[in-house]
A = this chain, B = another copy of it.
């Protein structure tokens, strides 16, 4: 025996993450002794020491570090496989699209309409996920395709089609020193006293915000500034200033799907989406907005 099974992997990951058998057991909903035994059996089966234990806890060996990293993605693939199969079995056929609220570049309604007009197009289910989770949703099988922004999103394991290049705007509180400006530069924000979303590192206020309303709220009360693609304009609350950041690297709205799943439904959707996007590009070129 050498191939770990999912139970052993789940158990090992729990211990490796908690670095503590009893806590891991609690998290798994089992008692500590069987957990200890399972890990021992896993180590024996693999012929490798995964954890260094002593009386005050657990450390990962080199092999354990690798198995934690690799095991996570392996388990994710197993989960994705079952979820995708489950969805494929549900009738009628449905395409699940993951989007971040407000992260559609203003194209979504148009894309959906165009797609629905196609002959025998499957229904499209929309799943709203937190910022930055669209790719994960596709990877773990909750969704078939995602609308997301490059290069913010991590696209490992995904294929993509670019739809739209968007310049960036800063969202500023009403009385911010820059909120009156017609345009600003990245450097202007550099030494701003307010933390900046989305690259607020660590546990500063607003680090893990994944909901637009909460973000707007924090900006409005002057606790945060944010930078995002142009299309967020239409979701900005009244009072929040939207100022173009002229020299920020533009962000690209893209459609992404699992790299190995070239299903007909996904291809068709991608084709429609790119068509809509290119129409949209032409339109903005010919009749620029106010």
Contacts and interface: CB of A to CB of B under 8 A. Distances in A.
Interface stretch (A78-86, A163-171, A274-282): A78-86
The oligomer's copy count stands at 2
A27 B65 CA distance: 34
Contacts of A46: 82, 85-86, 89
Interface stretch (A3-11, A101-109, A201-209): A3-11
A73 B63 contact: no
Q: Which one of A48, A67, A78 has the greatest number of beta carbons of chain B within 10 Å?
A: A78
A7 B3 CA distance: 10
Contact of A261 (B64, B69, B75): B69
A145 to B, nearest CB: 15
Contact of A74 (B63, B65, B80, B89): B80
Contacts of A30: none
A88 interface: yes
A2 B83 CA distance: 8
Contacts of A2: 82-83, 86
Contacts of A81: 4, 9, 66-67, 70-71, 73-74
Given A46-B86, A48-B90, A66-B84, 7 more contacts: A2-B82, A3-B79, A4-B81, A9-B78, A48-B88, A70-B80, A71-B81
